[in-house]
Amino acid sequence: MKKQSAVSLVTHTNTQKLESTTTQNLSEQAKDSRINKNDQNPQSHNSTNASRRQNLAKARKSQRPNKPSRRRQDFGDKNGALQGESRAHTRAYVTADSPQQSPFLAQNKQSEVSLEKPTPQIIAVIGLGYVGLPLTLTFGAKYPTIGFDINATRVKELQEKLDSSGECGLQDFLQAPLARFSSEPSELAQATIYLIAVPTPITKDKLPDLSYLQSACELVGSMLKVGDIVVFESTTYPTCTRNFCAPLLESTSKLQLNRDFCVGYSPERINPADKTHSLSQIVKITSGSSKESAEIIDKLYASVIPAGTHCVSSIEIAEASKALENAQRDINIAFMNEAYMLFDTLGLDMAEILQAARTKWNFLPFYPGLVGGHCISVDPYYLSYIAKLQGFSPKLLTKARIVNEAMPSFIASKFAKQLESAGIELQGARVLVVGFAFKKDCRDMRNTKVPHLCYELESLGLEVEVLDSLIDRDRAKLEYGISVLESKQLLAASDDSGYDGVLCNVLHTCDAHIDLASLCKPCSALVFVSP
């Protein structure tokens, strides 16, 4: 008897629960398709791909006239089973047509197609944000690569070698002569490898929002061909690629996973605004839906990532590793935030405490403060979601989120107490919050906690203004309803009477020249720096 795979730990009962709940909840959340695609005729598409399979076999035979014929291999291992699973276990996904079928107990069909191309023909990257753009430029330095985004304005600026996010410079574009950018879906049909790097945010109820992922899958699925590879980079919960993405690709393309095409997962690990740890300097985790596809995907990334790759045994392992990375950081920061609250009750200076603790060699360098952005403050909810579907209640993960979400209120309260200690009446006091983005030298405003901080300050009677010279201030006004000042506007805003206090959340390099104390009234000069 073969040893049961580690990926098949889900029981039959829990698997059914996972399938029905995931299909019902996430399919409803993802109905609003955000990527437009051309209509396809399923019957014509199916027959076309059948013809492609025949032509592919003929083409391969004609290309090897002097080589002995050999048996066609499949996307799976030599026994036809998926990598990391016994023959009795196959791909872990569900469809709306068969919600009660266990994904781990279904019988796998023998694969028919193999990938024999030593290098990709054309790569397509779906989504040109802080993940997709570096991917496009990195692969575009070696392979013909199409960077696709539905935002035509974004595509136009990239075509002019400009990146408004600040993540990539002119030199990055010049080093990628084979990269080009488009907002036309039809251009994606010529690709043979698709890398999907779209956002995976959360809903207002803090549940996974897979609408971007669904739209990308439907778009790619509408032009998927026999022999193609689809690799997902978007952060999500373990089992999402097989349970949610693969069925969408199959239903849209009318092709079969591991027979006609394969999928992989390689989680993005980019740290925004970090010029040291760029894409090429971070080890890339890779995986595939079969042994052969995992090897192909790993070699593909290894060919452009000098830092190397780490190929894992299953897609679920790769998904879980990324979720763990961000959840660990969230929990560590939550402990620092809770310690900050504790020591504040004792009247102790957290900054000095940290300075002393850092003298020990194995003290971990985590610091208290607002936890925002699109990763650390979002991804733990994805992990909590799948945990609860399995009947597991993650206490520490949940508590960490509660602690970190409470920080805007705590910082606002602490700042207000310092104003009162300086003899300043809270009602009508004029204060300046420095930094709107969620981290230093980063233009990204997604899920920034500064609006929450401003709301808390205003609820205490304070008049709040915000300074950030780096972000898109028009967008901040549109999305958050907050007017943000830039440094050149600051003097005019403060020359009359000055501010009663300044709360420094994030001080970008472009604003570092400002003497914050000089912006305050002479009688207060109160500058509060969030740890």
> What average pLDDT score do residues 195-220 get?
97
Question: Which residues, 6+ apart, have CB-to-CB distance to 392 below 8 Å?
Answer: none
Question: Which residues, 6+ apart, have CB-to-CB distance to 159 below 8 Å?
Answer: 180, 181
Amino acid at 90: T
Of residues 368 and 79, which shows the higher confidence score? 368
Percent of the chain topping pLDDT 70 = 75
> What average pLDDT score do residues 190-212 get?
97
pLDDT tens digits, one per residue of 478-531: 999 999 998 888 765 555 578 999 999 999 999 988 888 888 887 665 777 766
What are the φ/ψ torsions at residue 261 (nearest 5 degrees)?
-150, 170
Report domain extents, the chain: 6-322, 326-405, 407-529
Model confidence at 425: pLDDT above 60: yes
Instruction: Spell out the CATH class of 407-529.
Output: alpha beta
Distance CA 130, CA 446 (A): 12
Question: Which residues, 6+ apart, have CB-to-CB distance to 254 below 8 Å?
Answer: 42, 45, 46, 49
In the block, residue with structure tokens 């026994």: 79
Model confidence at 31: pLDDT above 80: no
pLDDT tens digits, one per residue of 461-492: 999 999 999 999 999 999 999 999 988 887 65
Q: Do domains 6-322 and 407-529 have the same CATH topology?
A: yes
Which CATH number is correct for 6-322, 3.40.50.720, 3.40.190.150, 3.30.1490.100, 1.20.120.140?
3.40.50.720
Which CATH code is given to the segment(s) 326-405?
1.10.1040.10
353's tokens: 């405490």
Distance CA 507, CA 312 (A): 39
Picking from 250, 247, 120, the residue whose alpha carbon sits closest to that of residue 194 is 120
- Catalytic-labelled residue, pool 217, 245, 311, 375: 375
pLDDT of amino acid 56: 43
What are the φ/ψ torsions at residue 160 (nearest 5 degrees)?
-95, 10
pLDDT of amino acid 330: 97
Active site residue 454: no
359's tokens: 């003298």
524 DSSP 8-state letter = T
| Beta bridge pairs of residue 229 | 193, 262
